[in-house]
Amino acid sequence: MAIVVQKAGSKSLSLHGLGVICGLTAGVWLGAAEAPTKLVNAGLSPFAVSLCMVAGVFTARWTFPTLLKGTGYVFADLAEKKHLIVWALLAGALWAVANTLTVFAIRDVGLAVAFPLWNANSLIGLFWGRVLFKELEGASAGNISKVVLGGIAIVIAAVMLGFSTLHGDTAAGQHAVRGILAAIGASFMWGTMYVPYRKAYISGMNPLSFVTAFTIGESSGSTASASSPTGSTRFELMNGPL
């Protein structure tokens, strides 16, 4: 019995370590992936930049799961869990809107300020995780205090970054406020996006199958925003900055 408990504890620890490594890797990868969005400063429409990013994301997220598991496995998993596909589509649509908002934020306040601001989405994810999925229940006081202190640090950093972009120039100040609001909107969208993620995962859908359906949602959302009256009038690749 003791051996079984020891093995279970070891497995849980190894999965936790793998999760931490995957999280850190994703952070580095996402940070590097945002660099091309600086093209918006060269006069490209934010809608165009976002749509081009989604095209690349669609290619990667569609091919990677099928290479790992095969088309047959992915479609069989989706067919078995049809009721979860809508959650994947919803998450993809939220991602597309958030991604477009980040490009607007970069245009108005710059990548160095916008990127940390929208990454406050971890606070939104933490809130939904606690309210909807009862996470942290039964956690030790030490772990809870770490989460609370980390959240406070994120809020303080976000406020300081926001104030650092505001100065006396009225026009520049208006652009900064607009960029900050775009980053906050992206943060809320991305933080809420994790609700469908979590719902699908705990219901048994394979993450690779989820990502495959997710790409349809994000591609549809990005195309719809670029094709909307607001997006289409600004979808001019060779125009000057908006």
Range list of H helices, the chain: 2-33, 46-69, 71-80, 85-109, 111-118, 121-133, 141-164, 170-202, 207-227, 229-234
Report the pLDDT averaged over residues 154-166: 79
- Its sign, for the CA torsion 190, 30, 119, 20, is positive
For the chain, what are the domain ranges?
34-234
Say yes or no to pLDDT of 187 above 80: yes
Say yes or no to pLDDT of 129 above 80: yes
Tell me the three state secondary structure of residue 162: helix
- Its sign, for the CA torsion 189, 220, 199, 5, is negative
Contact 65, 74 (CB under 8 A): yes
- What pLDDT score was predicted for residue 10? 52
Mean pLDDT, all residues of the chain: 78
Q: CA-to-CA distance for 21 and 101, rounded, in angstroms?
A: 28
Structure tokens at 174: 């208006």
Over the range 40-74, which residues count as b (16 or more CB within 10 Å of their CB) and which as e?
A: beeebbbbbbbbbbbeebbeebbeebeeebeeeeb
Per-residue pLDDT tens for 11-61? Answer: 555 777 877 787 778 777 666 666 666 667 677 788 888 888 888 777 777
Q: CA-to-CA distance for 120 and 145, rounded, in angstroms?
A: 18
Q: CA-to-CA distance for 10 and 138, rounded, in angstroms?
A: 20
Say yes or no to pLDDT of 210 above 90: no
Instruction: State what percent of residues in the chain have pLDDT above 90.
Output: 10
Burial of 211 (0-12, 13-18, 19+ CB in 10 A): buried
Identity (one letter) of the amino acid at 37? T
Tell me the three state secondary structure of residue 43: coil
